[in-house]
Amino acid sequence: MRPKDAFNELISKAELIDRPLVAPIIGFHTAWLYNQDPLQVATNGLLMAKLQQQALNFYGYDIVSHYLDLTTLPESLGAKVKWSGYIPSIETPLKNTNEVLNKLETADVRSLIESSKRLKASIEAIKYLQTSVGQTYPIAAFVHGPLTLIGDLLSPEFALRLIRKEPSTIKELLEKSVPLLKALSEVYIEQGADIIVIAEPTASLISAKDFQTLLFEHLNDEILGAKKRSNVILHICGRANHLLDLMSLTDADILSVDKFIDLPTAIKKYSNKIFMGNIGTTEIYTWDPLKVRNYTKELVNRAGKERLIVSTGCDIPVYTPPDNIKAMVNAVKGEA
């Protein structure tokens, strides 16, 4: 069965598939793996797609994507990005909430794409992947969640202070971010994304009460916008145990979680959701292949085949040994 068919059956729950799907989150690792300059890859959608396709063939997993790079959209909105090795990070965020509000209110996604080489490349990579392997594999695109976008534009610390001291301000910022994020999801879907992954890692740093009263409405609005034409994964890495009840109430098809969640227990408790995870990024980077394989096999044995996509808790570290990724994938597929 083609991975795309298996994914569609998993979503529809029409029948049990032979094994869980396996989809490590792989981004800048492929630039290192194939000895490419990361900045060049980040500004060349065809090159990014080719590297991702090479890794797909090399490792044999089931879902392919562009790079998970949450600095691209903030940079297009005016944040300054620096590069350290293979990884970009935000060096200088925007100045204040008024500047962010103005950027969000006036931003036009098509104009941002035309003016940002990296954003344009990210979108072009989805198009190339859909053309080259989209008949066989589901194609996933990453989009910010509202809180994570605000945190990246102002700094996470600034956003968290607003939650405590100015909840009305953070709520306005969250509300203003959603139209832009929905519009960006639409572009990815138009170019061939079968899955929109809404990355909201900053949410793991807030309380369940704040998640419910400040974030939930706007996050689910974004989810519903993408779900009209694609499947949706809500990705919250980190210690998100306290948010699982609320995550399960969103309209996301799949919940992507980190190593801190007991996945077999979550699968049993939240029967309305498919779960994705939860092999830690530190573990897949530092363990030897045998330990990765045994851990993955134990996870599958405990969780079962239903409603499970075996993945890493977040983007794998750039220098992760290839044998460790192979061990994870092969353990799920039952290969040596």
Which residue has 């859909």 as its token pair?
130
Whole-model pTM: value is 0.97
Q: State whether the Cα torsion 284-255-10-181 is positive or negative.
A: negative
Confidence of residue 19 (pLDDT cuts 50, 70, 90): confident
Per-residue pLDDT for 302 more than 80?
Answer: yes
pLDDT of 15 over the 60 cut: no
pLDDT tens digits, 279-292 = 999 999 999 999 99
Structure tokens at 1: 């069965």
Helices (DSSP H) in 202-305: which residue ranges?
A: 208-210, 216-227, 244-249, 263-269, 281-286, 289-303
Closest CA to 68 of 9, 7, 126: 126
% of the chain exceeding 70 in pLDDT:
99
Specify the higher pLDDT residue, 85 or 248. Answer: 248
pLDDT tens for each residue of 155-200: 999 999 999 999 999 999 999 999 999 999 999 999 999 999 999 9
How much is the pLDDT for 336?
63
Nearest Cα neighbor of 22 from 330, 331, 309, 335 is 309
- Report the alpha-carbon distance of residue 50 to residue 62 in Å, rounded: 16
Judge contact between 247 and 255, C-beta under 8 A: yes
CB 28 within 8 Å of CB 52: no
Mean pLDDT of 16-21: 80
* Residue 92: half-sphere exposure toward Cβ, Cα within 13 Å: 3
Average pLDDT over residues 295-311: 92
pLDDT at residue 17 in the model: 67
**Per-residue model confidence (pLDDT) at position 14:** 45
What is the rounded distance in angstroms from the CA atom of residue 226 to the CA atom of residue 214?
20
Q: What is the pLDDT of residues 229-261, one digit of tens each?
A: 999 999 999 999 999 999 999 999 999 999 999
Contacts of 10 (CB under 8 A, 6+ apart): 17, 21, 274, 307, 309
Backbone angles phi, psi at 82, to 5 degrees: -120, 160
More confident residue, 19 or 218: 218
Secondary structure class of 68 (helix, strand, coil) = coil
Q: Residue 325 phi/psi, 5° resolution?
A: -65, -40
